[in-house]
Amino acid sequence: MQAAGGAPLSDPADQETAVAPARARKLVTLGVLAVVVYVLDLVSKTLVVAFLEHKEPVEVIPDVLLLNVIRNSGAAFSIGTGMTIVFTVIAFGVVVAILRTARQLRSVPWAITLGLLLGGALGNLTDRIFRAPAPLQGHVVDFVQVFPATHFPIFNVADSGVVCGGILAVFLAWRGYQVDGTRQTEEKSDG
């Protein structure tokens, strides 16, 4: 590592001071993206519950996109219906794991990944904590239905954040990119 004038930084304290602003920017990226996903999820759910719940689905694009409000007590694909408290605990654990992982964050792609995952997890966790039928047993509001004839699961903005973050996490891991900004590569042998 080098100082602004090009001289090498030999003191570990100087190196940490030089890294701090770059790390802070990555944490800000994670935080801003998480807030954007969370707010979009919260606002969209509030609007669809207020204006579309208990009404016929709204066809936005014929045979492609419907707004169809349902309450989901399970996970994706309605797996685990009736196990809402378990999913609440899991979502809380995911949030804690992301926050702990963020302490090592030195990578912009991982900041984006963790921001998407955190915003999505917080969005659905908010539903599970505060929505009916009871605290910590709330049903998640889902409302986006694509290609209705295929019976693809109905989802929400938080679900989209989690899925996109999950796909990006798998891609980054596959390519060897680490949360700390390093990259693992396979050793090539001549044998």
Question: DSSP string of 124-139?
Answer: HHHHHHHSTTSTT-PP
127, 142, 180, 190: the catalytic one is: 142
Instruction: With CA atoms as reference, report the closest residue to 163 among 119, 125, 131, 128.
Output: 119
CB neighbour class for 83 (10 Å; exposed up to 12, middle 13-18, buried from 19): middle
Instruction: Read off the pLDDT band of 191 (50, 70, 90).
Output: very low
pLDDT exceeds 60 at position 10: no
pLDDT in tens, 22-56: 889 999 999 999 999 999 999 999 999 999 999 99
Residue 137 and residue 86: Cα distance in Å, rounded?
Answer: 9
- Residue scoring higher pLDDT (18 or 72): 72
Q: Does residue 13 form part of some domain?
A: no
Position 129 in a domain:
yes
Which of the 8 DSSP states describes residue 61?
A: E
- Per the domain annotation, does 11 fall within a domain? no
Please provide the size of the chain in residues.
191
Residue at 8 is within a domain = no
Query: 72 in a domain, yes or no?
Result: yes
Predicted pLDDT of residue 4: 52
Among candidate residues 11, 14, 63, 159, the one labeled active-site is: 159
Q: Which domain holds residue 163?
A: 23-175
Tally of structural domains, the chain: 1
Active site includes 41?
no
Q: What's the burial of 84, exposed, middle or buried (CB within 10 Å: 0-12/13-18/19+)?
A: buried
pTM for the predicted model, two decimal places: 0.84
Q: Which residues pair with 58 in a beta bridge?
A: 67
pLDDT (0 to 100) of residue 11: 60
